Structure 1
Amino acid sequence: MRPAVIFIIITIMIDAMGIGLIIPVMPDLIREVNGGDLSHAALWGGIMATTFAVMQFLFGPVMGGLSDRYGRRPVLLLALVVMAADYVLMSIAGSIWLLMVGRVIGGITAATHATASAYIADISKPEDRAANFGLIGAGFGVGFVVGPLMGGVLAEYGTRAPFWAATVLAMGNATLGWFVLKETVKKENRRRFEWRRANPLGAIRTLGHLPGIRHLLVVYFIYHVAFAVYPSVWAYFGQERYGWSPAVIGYSLGLFGVMMALVQAGLIRVVLRQFGERGTVLAGHLFSILAFGVIAVVTSGTVALILTPLAALAGVIPPALQGIMSRQVAANAQGELQGALSSSTALAMIISPMAMTSAFAYFTGSGAPIYLPGAPFLLAMSLAIVSLFIFLSRPAAQNMA
């Protein structure tokens, strides 16, 4: 694997850590700076996750558009340096409002997911893009492993220790990128940056007019709303349902991330060869529906961990959808496409944390009509069913690999 691709994967990993790193320590960190009980902390956690996602939503297409104009290299390197500075801020924040500022900056710098995906599109043949996008998903999965594990293990040394480690990682990767990352956007393929295209809703709307894209954008969006139930409520759900400590929550999320990485780096290639992109999307939905439903009702933490591989199999969906869509846009619009997809994911992360943590708080608080900690997973299952039906309503010929 070429060094530049390794850098891209590490960049995505660090982007994912911006979400995963804070998950195990979030319940304790919020109560440390703001007080309150677990249900109250869950609501604040939802607000902070939404803030992070709002910034990703707003800046995903901006980053993608800037990379189409000025190149992938400067956008990626500058974002990593600013990200390192943000982790320093998070490590010293003494109030909920400074933590919120940190989430604002973190969301902006993590919006380079679009630029990293565009880089992969630049260096891949059209027929290889779906499988290579799996490397992006694998990087995210590894980040989802490293982040929660780091957060869980280092939580033993205080709620701020993980952020100092993340600072070192971000600066280290920026240094690596300085030496190995070559520019892939040729001068003849660069285009003028336009705020109209950089508007997240405008970018999604523009791409939605392309033949066969609209249904896939909706499916991509709903999938991410449902799948975000894991980072949104897992720490609170694990404490409430199973009595897990931050370390155990970190280990459980790490296991989930390992399985996601294995699925998206290796298994997806086998699944794509066997079922094609359409069949891969269908299979992923079926696995996610089953996993959400079972996790919602199981009362054993051991069984929940055993179900982790089943839940991770849903990770085949995004690369397959990206592969279908990337073949339907021009070479000089790959950054715009990935920016729109990044904004779609971020929009899902705006909606999902508030919806999922509110459902958790409503069904676990003192005035709950029934005690149902798994309510967010039942909501996610319902969304996955809707997403599947929308995908099936699209003509099969348009989904063929």
Structure 2
Amino acid sequence: MNRNFWITALIAFVNSLSLTILIPIIYLYGKQFGLSDFQTSLLFSTYSIAQFFATPVIGKLSDRFGRKPLLIISLAGTVIANLIAGTASTAILLFFARFLDGITGGNMSVAQAVISDITSQKNRAQAFGIFGAAMGLGFVLGPAMSLLAQQLSLGAAFLASAGVAFVALLMTIFFLPETLQNKSKKSSNIFDLGLGNLVKGLFMPGVGILLLINFLIGTTFTMFTYAFQPYFLRVLQQNSQSLTLLFLSFGAVGVIMQTWGVSVMSKRFNVVKILFLGLFFRSLSFVLMPVWANINYFVIVSILFSIFNSLVQPMITTLISLNAKAEDQGTALGLNASYLSISNGIGPVIAGLIVHQSQPITYGYPLYLAGGLTFLVLAFAINNRQRYTPRNS
């Protein structure tokens, strides 16, 4: 791996740090503004739906104008949005901040396109594994920083996130060179910004089926991520500090799996089989989590979940990158991030509709549903594997 790869991985780490500072506190921060469970689910969805429409545009523009300028714009949006959220005085401002962060939030797909630009197909799975591990390291340190910021206020966590994103912005400006060698041709229609690709992408050979699979995976996963926090806080009777420490342990396990684990497994199994393994244990973990409302049992199942869950997205990203043409890497990875974003907007709403604040036991229902549906997605992925398995696998 060359210098540009490690710079990109470092930017991914810092950007992930900015994101994961927020994950443990968004639900609780929404509650401070008097939002109901369903309204907090919309807080999650506002960001994701905005990102759904923005990411293919950013991916398309990165293929046309280069990776660096679009990465700068995306990171600047995150800085401004989190400053607004951290100082918000009304729920309307908070929703606007989440929308702004989403509409400019294509930085991960652009960073992934950089990885595709600078790595060979042979080394791509390992590269995306290390890239995922850099993000996973953010999942270790982000919750720790969040824990410190929470001592001041929940809003301080947003301000800390803005500060960290600003560091990533400076690194991109001063240290990351442009990596796109062959820019796509400028469209004769200046309004051709890639939104049409949201439909066209589904018909891209080898890529379209993966976009659909990742959309389904993301929908079931975000049912879990929304219900996970209130289940931990209300059913298991834990506090926000314990929740943050659990997220920290998830990140630590993820880093190990995405560096050492992926390297070892890729020598024995191809990318598709590793994806299936990750999906199977993710499904099983979802179903097992709410079976027994005991904190020790929950932590054990959560560790099983974190070991295998960290394999899923790096393998999906690798498969999309291997199936996409060289000149379409930014577009394909932008579409992947976009479909993942809209799934992130749907999952929390589904979960929010089936839980009832007056009945804490209902916070386990989305976990059962997410597990059952993820098993169905796994079956669908296995049945269609010939449509996206690279020829050399």
Q: 1:186-265 alignment to 2 at 5 Å? A: 186=181, 188-192=182-186, 195-196=191-192, 198-199=194-195, 202-265=196-259
Worse-matched range after superposition: 210-219 or 247-256 = 210-219
User: Hey, what's the Cα distance between the residues in 1 that align with 2:86 and 2:29?
Assistant: 11
Work out whether residues 228 and 352 of structure 1, in 8 Å CA contact, stay in contact via their aligned partners in 2.
yes
Q: Which residue identity does 1:310 align to in structure 2? A: L
Measured against aligned partners, the alpha-carbon deviations of 1:83-119 in whole angstroms (never above 9, x if no partner) come to: 2222211121011111011101111232221111100
Measured against aligned partners, the alpha-carbon deviations of 1:205-250 in whole angstroms (never above 9, x if no partner) come to: 3232233333322221111122224432322111112111111111
> In structure 1, what is the equivalent of residue 94 of structure 2?
99
Work out whether residues 153 and 250 of structure 1, in 8 Å CA contact, stay in contact via their aligned partners in 2.
no
Change in 2 beyond 3 A, CA 1:195/1:10: farther
User: Hey, what's the Cα distance between the residues in 2 that align with 1:296 and 1:142?
Assistant: 27
User: Hey, what's the Cα distance between the residues in 2 that align with 1:206 and 1:50?
Assistant: 24
User: Hey, what's the Cα distance between the residues in 2 that align with 1:395 and 1:162?
Assistant: 42
Aligned residues with identical type, % of pairs: 22
Unaligned ranges ≥5, structure 1: none
Q: Which of 374, 380, 390 is residue 364 of structure 2 equivalent to?
A: 374
Unaligned ranges ≥5, structure 2: none
Change in 2 beyond 3 A, CA 1:145/1:226: farther
User: Hey, what's the Cα distance between the residues in 1 that align with 2:388 and 2:153?
Assistant: 52
Change in 2 beyond 3 A, CA 1:197/1:206: farther
User: Hey, what's the Cα distance between the residues in 2 that align with 1:13 and 1:358?
Assistant: 34
> In structure 2, what is the equivalent of residue 33 of structure 1?
33
Does the residue aligned with 2:123 lie in a helix, a strand or coil?
helix
Q: Which of 41, 50, 55 is residue 46 of structure 1 equivalent to?
A: 41
Over the aligned positions, Cα root-mean-square deviation in angstroms equals 2.3
Q: Which of 299, 321, 330 is residue 335 of structure 1 equivalent to?
A: 330
Does the residue aligned with 2:361 lie in a helix, a strand or coil?
coil
User: Hey, what's the Cα distance between the residues in 2 that align with 1:269 and 1:372?
Assistant: 40
Q: Which residue identity does 1:371 align to in structure 2? A: I
Q: Which residue identity does 1:267 align to in structure 2? A: G
Quote the offset at 1:10 in angstroms.
4.0
User: Hey, what's the Cα distance between the residues in 2 that align with 1:128 and 1:195?
Assistant: 36
Q: Which of 373, 380, 387 is residue 390 of structure 1 equivalent to?
A: 380
> In structure 2, what is the equivalent of residue 21 of structure 1?
21
Does the residue aligned with 2:33 lie in a helix, a strand or coil?
helix
Q: Which residue identity does 2:139 align to in structure 1? A: F
Work out whether residues 72 and 185 of structure 1, in 8 Å CA contact, stay in contact via their aligned partners in 2.
yes
Work out whether residues 216 and 321 of structure 1, in 8 Å CA contact, stay in contact via their aligned partners in 2.
yes
Q: Which residue identity does 1:372 align to in structure 2? A: T
Q: Does residue 1:138 correspond to 2:100, yes or no?
A: no
Q: Which residue identity does 1:123 align to in structure 2? A: I
Measured against aligned partners, the alpha-carbon deviations of 1:157-178 in whole angstroms (never above 9, x if no partner) come to: 1112212222221222222222
Does the residue aligned with 1:189 lie in a helix, a strand or coil?
coil
Runs of at least 4 residues off by over 6 Å: none
Change in 2 beyond 3 A, CA 1:72/1:27: closer
Quote the offset at 1:141 in angstroms.
2.3
Change in 2 beyond 3 A, CA 1:152/1:9: same
Work out whether residues 64 and 336 of structure 1, in 8 Å CA contact, stay in contact via their aligned partners in 2.
yes
User: Hey, what's the Cα distance between the residues in 2 that align with 1:153 and 1:304?
Assistant: 25
Aligned residues: 388
Measured against aligned partners, the alpha-carbon deviations of 1:177-223 in whole angstroms (never above 9, x if no partner) come to: 2222011112x433325654611xx3243232233333322221111
> In structure 1, what is the equivalent of residue 143 of structure 2?
148
User: Hey, what's the Cα distance between the residues in 2 that align with 1:132 and 1:230?
Assistant: 28
Q: 1:234-383 alignment to 2 at 5 Å? A: 234-312=228-306, 313-359=308-354, 361-362=355-356, 365-366=357-358, 371-383=361-373
